[in-house]
């Protein structure tokens, strides 16, 4: 079997073992990926509330990249760490492509270094959330294991 097919085969089992729901995790990742399509819209629709708020664009970049990296990590690397590096690499490449495509191919949009920095901050935030969730789950499992191993002393 190839590495990719091994990953696909073991992922549902690892998600369940980590205490997660496969449909919810896949749904959240699907939503995050769907929202990323907005980066490729030829122009920002004028009727969006708050579209003119300064800095809102950067907040959207941070939140969407954080959500995407965190959700992808929860699906692809619920137990093992290896695929998460690939998630980060793909997210970084995607961030660069967004700005390049906006600069070259979308006349009503402009790529910017500020957006790229916001994307990288979002990637780091998503990675941090994923790491924090794994550490919290690991501590919880250790606590449960320790409680199960402690002998119950008889009361005098």
- Domain assignments of the chain as residue spans, ordered by start: 3-40+53-146
Q: 112 and 47 in contact (C-beta within 8 Å)?
A: no
Nearest to 88 by CA among 111, 65, 104, 108: 65
- Identify the band that residue 23 occupies on the pLDDT scale cut at 50, 70 and 90: confident
Q: What is the pLDDT of residues 123-150, one digit of tens each?
A: 999 999 999 988 887 787 777 666 666 6
The position carrying tokens 């492509």 is: 97
* Global pTM value: 0.77
The residue-averaged pLDDT of 88-114 equals 91
Q: What is the pLDDT of residues 26-58, one digit of tens each?
A: 888 889 989 888 887 777 767 777 667 788 889
Token representation of residue 81: 């760490």
Residues 124 and 49: their CA atoms lie apart, in Å, by: 28
Whether pLDDT at 1 is above 60: no
């Amino acid at each position: 079997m190839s590495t990719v097919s091994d990953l696909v085969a073991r992922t549902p089992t690892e998600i369940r073992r980590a205490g997660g729901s496969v449909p919810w995790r896949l749904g959240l990742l699907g939503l995050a990926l769907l929202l990323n399509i907005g980066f490729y819209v030829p122009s920002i629709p004028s009727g969006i509330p708050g579209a003119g708020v300064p800095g809102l664009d950067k907040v959207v970049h941070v939140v969407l990249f954080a959500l995407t990296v965190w959700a992808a990590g929860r699906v692809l690397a619920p137990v093992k760490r290896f695929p998460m590096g690939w998630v980060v690499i793909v997210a970084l490449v995607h961030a660069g492509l967004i700005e390049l495509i906006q600069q070259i191919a979308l006349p009503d949009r402009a790529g910017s270094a500020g957006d790229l920095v916001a994307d990288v901050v979002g990637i780091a935030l998503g990675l941090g959330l994923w790491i924090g969730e794994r550490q919290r789950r690991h501590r919880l499992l250790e606590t449960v294991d320790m409680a199960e191993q402690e002998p119950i002393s008889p009361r005098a």
